[in-house]
Structure 1
Amino acid sequence: MLAAAAGDVAGGNSAVGYSAITQQATVVAYHILRNDGVDRVLLGEEWKELGADAENPSVYRTPSDSFLAWLDAISRGEGAATVEPSAEPASRVYPVGVWFRRDPGRLVTAAISVARVTHIDAATVVGAAAVAGAVAASSFAQVGRDLLQGSAEL
């Protein structure tokens, strides 16, 4: 998670590098660290805060059209979760897998909550939970230092 945040700060505006997805995942990580869980409304507000408003431009790098539509709708106070399938929620739930790696029930609940902020398509939500589970499995019994050391070796 620290690597994602550092890469986001150092990275350029690239859809294949550190992009809006990485920024959203970094917000998820910070949200979970602060709340020990996922509050969908609060997480949505935190994502919205990085978007454009009357005074500030958006800080998101190459956000998808669907995420921009979600930001626009949420800014107007509308319910904005889409029924369209997407891989985006799966791309931003890896912090859920790391944080809840020893608590499968909370992992699934948190992954579903993160996905449902922007998407309500069943396959999209299940895909996000599966990715969070895979991340948990890959980091099971490790501590943060192990993950950072592994990143340093790459």
Structure 2
Amino acid sequence: MTYVVYGGSIYLIFLVILHIINCNVVLSHRRTSYAFITSRSIQLQTNNIKSCHKVTFVTPKGKKIVYCEEDEYVLDSAEAAGLDLPYSCRGGSCSTCNCMLTDGNMSNEDQSYLTDEELRKGYRLICTAYPHSDCTVITHKEDELHKLRGESS
């Protein structure tokens, strides 16, 4: 699908309106998002629009909302937004960044630490988790996971 927008400042307004109306899309900052067509038109290619989801973090310091692209790890988006969360390995092989997913859909296939049962209960390692819908996670769940496993932290 292609949108054609005429005029210089109209392009920016179009992008803002597109993002506000359909908050499930953001333009990638890493790719060219438009192509010059004529001196009076700009073409926006929708293949450069990525799905973006609202991730609500419930931390000991309160709630924080971060927007995360579907192909970006949740921890990376949180850090880019200035959220200071615990992490260690960044590879899904420890439990430092463990959170509890209470709402939404978040995949965690790249991790090797959590069991299938723990994933079913909602535990996620956000260093290797991708959002697939708007989500809510409770942070700082490492100790809870160790208690569930009967381990001392």
Give TM-score, length-normalised by structure 2: 0.29
Choose between structure 1 and 2: higher helix proportion: 1
Choose between structure 1 and 2: higher strand proportion: 2
Give TM-score, length-normalised by structure 1: 0.29
